[in-house]
Amino acid sequence: MTAAVTEPAASARLPRLDWPFLIAALLALSLLVALVMIDGQPAAAALLVSGFALGVVFLKAEFSFTASWRRLIVRGQADGFLGGLLLIAIAATVIVPVAATVQGFGGTIAPIGPSLVIGAFVFGIGMQLANGCGSGTLYTVGGGSGRMLVTLALFIAGSVIGSLHLPAFLSLGGIDPVLASNHLGPWGGLAATLASIAAVAAAIVAYARKKGAAVWPARKIVIGAILIGLLCIAVFAAGRHPWSVTFGFTVWGAKLATLAGIDLTGAEFWQWPGPKRALGDSILSDTSSLTDIGMILGAMAAAAAAGPFARNAWPPLKSLLAAAVGGLLMGWGARIGFGCNIGAFVGGVASGSLHGWVWFLAVLPGCMIGIRLRPLFGLSRE
Amino acid sequence: MRIAYAAAFLIGFVALLADHLTSPSSGRPVSPEDFAGACAPCGAPCPSSRAAK
Amino acid sequence: MVRIDPSAFLRAAAAAVLAVVLSLPAAADPVQPLVSPQWLKERLSDPKIVVLDIRSALDGGGVEAYRKAHIPGAIHSDYDKAGWRVTRGDVPFMLPSLAQLEKLIGETGIDEDDHVVVVPAGVHATDFGSAARVYWTLKVAGHPRVSILDGGVAAWVAAGYAVESGAKAPSPKIFTATLNKTLLAAVGDVETISGTSAANSASQSGPLTVGSAHAATLRPALLDGRPASFFAGKERAPSAKAYGHIPGAINVDSAAFYDPAANRLRSKSELEAIARSVPAGPVVSYCNTGHWAATNWFVLSEVLGRKQVTLFDGSMAEWTADGRRPVASQRTRWDDVKKALGFGS
């Protein structure tokens, strides 16, 4: 997941700061903030800046859901996963009660059924082949990885294909969303949410202890988790719903398809009010896209400020193939499963929606299969 | 990789700007989309409403 | 023996009848929406004629220009300040309430027996709109006899007729208003029309063919009387909160009906030709605040005699007051950037 370490001699010839990319990232952010401010949208500016901060934190903390879940599955190592639970708990303390009580704010909900489970499962396979999930793809792309650019491209494509299939998968059935605050009130819902997080944490700690693997996260992860949790709150405040990643990709892909002459307006997904509006309006009017773009730029700035940028060699073709297949599966799976690790898992659990835990239970077997497939593409098993 | 990355970044950014500048404007701040009645952030309808159809 | 010549007798009788008819007081003439300076000159001494000079800051003259030179016997009422348009709620330049209208019209010295001749400055198309709006306001309040002096004060002066200076104080009268709803469109009516028009989204240019199955129920048209740049959303009046037009509307700039060289409305045949792009059937005329739209209403309803032509006095100011009502335009965010950088609008 981290950028490959270059030879000391090589890096000594290059400046410590990669100025072109640092300046490019900062200029790009400034220009986008200016454009949305001209539009009279300070909330959009806040989302860009929050996304930028998320990119910096994820990159500096190397906060990888994909690698930490792989370590949990293969070795029973709990540290990274617990860091994820910490950030979700922090975000939940604001999201659950505010979504339940303040007009105009909503949590992330989704129906529970075959669509959710199948989508999450396929996403799980994809994320382990790609070496990144939703947030992972964004911060590694921003960090200068050409391989993850391939993943992103196929993620976008798979996302559009998924949008065309989603209505069919929805018709397979399911139950309406189960939201804790609907049944227990804002504070009862929060208590239930935190209790569920604590219960899962306890189970994972017990499992890690049994496997004799590392339990508690390192300081870098804890600090990263706290900052990400707080930024989740900021994103929720600005966008009025929890942080989401993959909807942005779907919109980008649909706009490219439209540019190529494909008419999506007849598809059921693209007639729903949210997608229809997003397709017809600027990318900078979509909350998900704003945080996505901000995150790529933030990771770019952080990576460029720390050393040579995008100077790695391309990985072998097999690895690129895994990146592509992984991206495609993630794109399709995220659309069918109502999001990725951020949108469905973090967003769902932090909103007190049962679908977040169901998504997680379904993604694990997918991850296991993906981990098994990694050596076929020359990737490590852990 | 560096050249390819820079090219991809530039093309992507220019495409983003083009999309934004050609998008329609009413010249006033627009309030966020109301997802009322939707069952997911993408706007999917609820299973209960689909069954009723 | 005198022989009676039938043709000479008939000619004399005709001349006598003509003389009687021509000497009848002006009130017996059918009321024309537009009257010429000559017509007015001949009837200046008629006590039933009220010459209403409406010059305001809009034509660069106002009450000062009135005091310097006005048509003999004319009363002044400032189009902008006297209360012909009021702010209701948060929407400016609206039609006043019936009680306000009774007070305004009565205090100006007008009652139902008078024949009001509205006199604009006669300097440009927008200034004619002031007269059209005052005309429409009087008609909405139920006044039975209103005309506009074609060409305004400028035409009177150009015809060489005498003017007087000073100010004539109006003698207030009691005016009883009866609301003529057939001339007025409310925002709810416009919402209905816009929703149906936008849903049909068929081309609205050109009249609907007579004899079609729905000729009896012709679709109402929304007529936007502003310049094309406002309609397209490239420019905006301060009173409108969004750029663009009401969805489903068609555009005929009210200035098209005005001859800037002669400073009066174009000839009836020219007006008819321009109005051909407005479909037959009910028409709701609107603009930013119902000023330019008054000219369009006047031309279609009063000069060309079309039926069911109404004015939406709230216009874009009222339509855009509620952010939930849709607005159609060709404006892009590039236009917004140009405006922010200082070389756009």
Give chain B positions within 8 Å (CB) of C336. Answer: 25, 27
Q: Hey, is the C-beta of B8 within 8 angstroms of any chain A C-beta?
A: yes
Q: Alpha-carbon distance C48 to C61, whole Å?
A: 27
Check residue A201 and give its pLDDT: 98
Tell me which of A348 and C208 has the higher pLDDT: A348
Give chain C positions within 8 Å (CB) of A35. Answer: 333, 337
CA angle A49, A52, A58 (to 5 degrees): 140
Q: Rounded to two decimals, what is the model's pTM? A: 0.80
Q: Hey, is the C-beta of B18 within 8 angstroms of any chain A C-beta?
A: no
Other chains touching B, judged by 3 or more CB pairs under 8 Å: A, C
pLDDT in tens, A280-320: 999 999 999 999 999 999 999 999 999 999 999 999 999 99
Q: Across the interface, which of B9, B20, B42 has its CB nearest the CB of A35? A: B20
pLDDT in tens, C216-249: 467 899 999 999 999 999 999 999 999 999 999 9
Q: Hey, is the C-beta of C338 within 8 angstroms of any chain B C-beta?
A: no
Average pLDDT, chain B: 77
Nearest to B9 by CA among A321, A148, A24: A24
How many interchain CB pairs under 8 A, B with C?
46
Check residue C219 and give its pLDDT: 82
CB contact under 8 A, B43 and A275: yes
Q: Across the interface, which of B29, B45, B47 has its CB nearest the CB of A175? A: B47
pLDDT over 80 (residue B44) = no
Strands (E), C20-133: 34-35, 49-53, 75-76, 86-88, 91-94, 115-119
CB contact under 8 A, C337 and A282: no
> What CATH number should be reported for the domain whose range is C29-179?
3.40.250.10
CB contact under 8 A, A283 and B9: no
Q: Across the interface, which of C233, C243, C333 has its CB nearest the CB of B23? A: C333
CA B37 to chain C, closest CA, distance in angstroms equals: 18
Say yes or no: do domains C29-179 and C185-341 share a fold. Answer: yes
In this structure, what is the dihedral angle of CA atoms C118, C121, C125, C127, given to the nearest 10 degrees?
-70
For chain B, the farthest-separated pair of C-alpha atoms sits apart, in whole angstroms, at 55
Other chains touching C, judged by 3 or more CB pairs under 8 Å: A, B
Q: Do the interacting molecules here have an ipTM over 0.85?
A: yes
Give chain A positions within 8 Å (CB) of C340. Answer: 38
DSSP of A171-216: TT--B---BHHHHHHHHHHHHHHHHHHHHHHHHHHHHHHHHT---S
Check residue C323 and give its pLDDT: 83
Closest Cα in chain A to C334: A35
Closest Cα in chain A to C333: A39
pLDDT in tens, C170-186: 999 999 999 999 999 99
CB contact under 8 A, C323 and B31: yes
Q: In the CATH hierarchy, which top-level class contains the domain C185-341?
A: alpha beta
Phi-psi region of C315 (alpha: psi -120 to 50; beta: other; left: phi over 0): left
| Domain residue ranges in chain C | 29-179, 185-341
* A16 pLDDT tier (thresholds 50, 70, 90): confident
Is A240 in contact with A104 (CB distance < 8 Å)? Answer: yes
* A133 pLDDT tier (thresholds 50, 70, 90): very high
CA B7 to chain A, closest CA, distance in angstroms equals: 11
CA angle A23, A27, A31 (to 5 degrees): 175
Q: Alpha-carbon distance B22 to A85, whole Å?
A: 42
Q: Hey, is the C-beta of A31 within 8 angstroms of any chain C C-beta?
A: no
Token duo for residue A224 = 């990263």
pLDDT in tens, C25-40: 544 568 999 999 999 9
Check residue C11 and give its pLDDT: 76
% residues pLDDT > 70 (chain A): 96
CB contact under 8 A, C336 and A39: yes
pLDDT over 60 (residue C290) = yes
Token duo for residue A226 = 């706290």
pLDDT in tens, C99-120: 999 999 999 999 999 999 999 9
Other chains touching A, judged by 3 or more CB pairs under 8 Å: B, C
Check residue C120 and give its pLDDT: 96
Span of A121-130, A134-143, C8-17, C145-154 with lowest mean pLDDT: C8-17
Q: Alpha-carbon distance C50 to C29, whole Å?
A: 15
Span of A164-168, A292-296, B43-47 with lowest mean pLDDT: B43-47
Q: Across the interface, which of B6, B24, B42 has its CB nearest the CB of A247? A: B42
